[in-house]
Amino acid sequence: MSTIKMSNMLQQAVALHQQGKLDAAEALYLQVLQSQPEHFDALQLLGVIAKQRGDAVLAVTRLREAIAIDAQQAIAHGNLGAALQDLGLPEEALLSYDRALQLKPDYAMAWNNRGNTLRSIGKLVAALHNYDKALRLNPRYTEALLNRGIALQEMEEHQQALQDFDEALTLTPQDAAIHFARALSLQCLRLYEDAIAGYEDVLHLQSEHIQALCNLGICLQKIQQFPAAVDSFAQAIKIKPDYVKAHLQYGNTLRQMGQKAAAITAYQTASSHSKDGTELAHINYALAALGVMDTPAMSPPTYIADLFDQYASHFDGHLLEVLHYQIPTLLSKAISKHVKAGPGNYLDLGCGTGLCGAYLRPTASKLTGIDLSEKMLGQATKTGWYDELHCAEISDWLQGQDQDFDLIMAADVFVYIGALDTVFAAASHVMRAGAVLGFSVEVTNESADYILRPSQRYAHSYAYLQRLADSHGFKIAEVKQEVARQDKDEDVPAYILVMIKT
């Protein structure tokens, strides 16, 4: 084949490639290779096609063949980095991007893609620096704006993320991915009406965007537009019948509407489609709360962590302003009558954002907090009340301690633990005689030791608590029934208990 003919064939292949006609372009690239097996451009572009088709292994092979022919072409190293990232090899991908940028420092796409790789391994600050470099080289680089916004979103810097998304939309107003990312940040900021409008924009562009449909349903659920939420989840399920998240949220909404039988069916359908152990544990917990399965001894730790990670940024306001939460005040007042005078070693179990820290800090020589939610602990850190904060399951953490505590406080923590023997045994082990254990539980007057309510919170009987005290070396110094909070405008009764270690 003559050089002119080969050049024309390559140009034709590139044109077809740009039009998205991958099969036709591939056929011409292969013809070029038949005549010239070491043709860099044909090999490199065949690698690109393989990546576009999702065959990252073939893409890496083709791109490495091209690089073996000419290692000085930045584009091949950049594309190889992207293919290695697709294979889940981020460190190798970074090396390829670094080589591409050594050859071409102003390669904006390589900076952007390098940022994506860093973001995939949780190096968000470094990812932002890479996106910034890409945008300095090309301020109108829509993809880099979107990716920088997503990195900021993952850092929970949603207001800054929105600035990037808005700028990206001025450049590409019909991009569904940008609209979706923007709506997600609005949802995280609890600007549900604006988020709903954003998800509707996504669906106007892509009517079968199931994530947008599901998130739209969640936002509608948050503002108590339950029938509309149910409809949104149903649409997502119609498009993807095995979409577990939609079935689970469908069940949650039906449960909130008081449609127990329908909620059970939705949860059971979610369970039938799920293959993820953690997800199944959450679904089974929801079914147990509706009485379908045996009551577990405690909530799944991942359920608690996920629940409170979602609440962390607005937890205090929601509890105090919406639910009229009283437990820290009531429990601290009860404890103050029994704790020994003078500074002591205090432990706040399930410390959350640190609502109890303000009560405990003034008389604590050392104050330690334990919680399962990393994001709640992040909020607790900001208070400055705590000497130590640990992310751990409380029984496991207590069993590993060799110190003695003068006071252990558990405000609204045992509502996520049904069987309390392990916790009481572990607490007793780290408390000296005269030490105080103060906690709250929701009240049940049933004969069972504990029940799991449809709210997915446990309630305990007083007889059970008395037995726990007797079994683990405590005496009950004070018990009162109080209103802990409100749920659906109804008072939720709780026991406020103070026990002394004997």
Topology (CATH level 3) of domain 306-501: Rossmann fold (3.40.50)
Find the Cα–Cα–Cα–Cα dihedral 14, 62, 74, 147, rounded to 10°. Answer: 80
Classify the C-alpha dihedral 104-110-115-118 as positive or negative. Answer: negative
239 neighbors 213 (Cβ within 8 angstroms):
yes
The stretches of 298-364 forming alpha helices (DSSP H) are 301-311, 315-317, 327-336, 357-360
489 neighbors 332 (Cβ within 8 angstroms):
no
The rounded distance, in Å, linking the Cα atoms of 227 and 217 is 9
- Short-list 162, 112, 154, 118, CA closest to 135: 112
Query: Which tokens belong to 242?
Result: 């095995």
Query: Which tokens belong to 389?
Result: 């904060």
The rounded distance, in Å, linking the Cα atoms of 212 and 208 is 8
Per-residue pLDDT, 417: 96
Query: Which tokens belong to 323?
Result: 């639910």
460 neighbors 420 (Cβ within 8 angstroms):
yes
| pLDDT one digit per residue (tens) for the chain, 502 residues | 667 787 888 899 999 999 999 999 999 999 989 989 999 999 999 999 999 999 999 999 999 999 999 999 999 999 999 999 999 999 999 999 999 999 999 999 999 999 999 999 999 999 999 999 999 999 999 999 999 999 999 999 999 999 999 999 999 999 999 999 999 999 999 999 999 999 999 999 999 999 999 999 999 999 999 999 999 999 999 999 999 999 999 999 999 999 999 999 999 999 999 999 999 999 999 999 999 999 999 999 999 988 888 876 655 455 554 445 678 888 999 999 999 888 999 999 999 989 899 899 999 999 999 999 999 999 999 999 999 999 999 999 999 998 999 999 999 999 999 999 999 999 999 999 999 999 999 999 888 999 999 999 999 999 999 999 999 999 999 999 988 776 666 788 899 999 999 9
- Short-list 56, 109, 52, CA closest to 80: 56
- Short-list 52, 37, 113, CA closest to 82: 113
The rounded distance, in Å, linking the Cα atoms of 182 and 189 is 11
